[in-house]
């Protein structure tokens, strides 16, 4: 039996807190979740390669609280293989969904082939969508970050984030 998507349970029209780089960080999203009560909340866009091999600082972009549910992880980049891996990370962190940024026009992003630049390479955009879907599906079927070869320190950081959310908010994934 196929699980029902949370999208089917949201009131119409759907009101979401749009991701704004440098603005909608974790404290901002929590305040909106507590007091504005949007139907969905998206994180600031986070680089897929950075999630896999960047500094631990990047995980700050993926902090969230129960007030933000359903919480959507927004990711960007241009290499499908990293979208696959980033989807695993988002699932492991308990996000309700993944949003692929294909609209950011910032020169810094587009010049590297991400964001709005993907409109020029539809085959790559399709590959990114398929890789993200496969990453979610493989995670749901039990594939682990260890099996994918993520560094143990990064896996520990992800688990620590989950434990802190449980300890602080008392809500399990």
Catalytic residue at 78?
A: no
**Which one from 28, 78, 91, 104 is the annotated catalytic residue?**
104
Rounded alpha-carbon distances, angstroms, from residue 4 to 10, 92, 98, 111: 12, 20, 16, 38
Alpha helices by DSSP H, listed for the chain, are 26-31, 48-53, 80-92, 107-110, 122-140, 145-148, 152-169
Query: Which residues, in sequence order, are CB contacts of 155 under 8 Å at separation 6+?
Result: 145, 146
Report how far residue 4's alpha carbon sits from residue 108's, in angstroms, rounded to the nearest whole number.
38
Report CA dihedral (152, 166, 39, 115) to the nearest 10 degrees.
Answer: -10
Report how far residue 79's alpha carbon sits from residue 33's, in angstroms, rounded to the nearest whole number.
32
Could you give the residue numbers annotated as active site?
A: 104
């Amino acid at each position: 039996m196929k699980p029902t998507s949370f999208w089917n349970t949201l009131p119409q029209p759907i009101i979401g807190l749009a991701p704004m780089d440098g603005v909608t960080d974790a404290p901002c999203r929590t305040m909106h979740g507590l007091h504005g009560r949007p139907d969905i909340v998206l994180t600031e866009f986070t680089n897929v390669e950075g999630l896999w091999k960047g500094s631990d600082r990047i995980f700050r972009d993926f902090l969230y609280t129960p007030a933000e549910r359903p919480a959507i992880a927004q990711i960007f980049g241009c290499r499908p293989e990293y979208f696959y891996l980033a989807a695993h990370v988002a699932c492991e962190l308990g996000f309700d969904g993944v949003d692929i940024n294909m609209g950011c026009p910032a020169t810094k992003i587009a010049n590297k082939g991400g964001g709005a630049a993907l409109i020029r390479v539809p085959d790559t955009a399709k590959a990114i969508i398929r890789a993200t879907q496969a990453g979610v599906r493989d995670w749901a079927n039990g594939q682990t970050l260890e099996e994918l070869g993520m560094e143990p320190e990064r896996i520990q950081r992800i688990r620590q984030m989950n434990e802190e959310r449980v300890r602080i908010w008392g809500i399990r994934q």
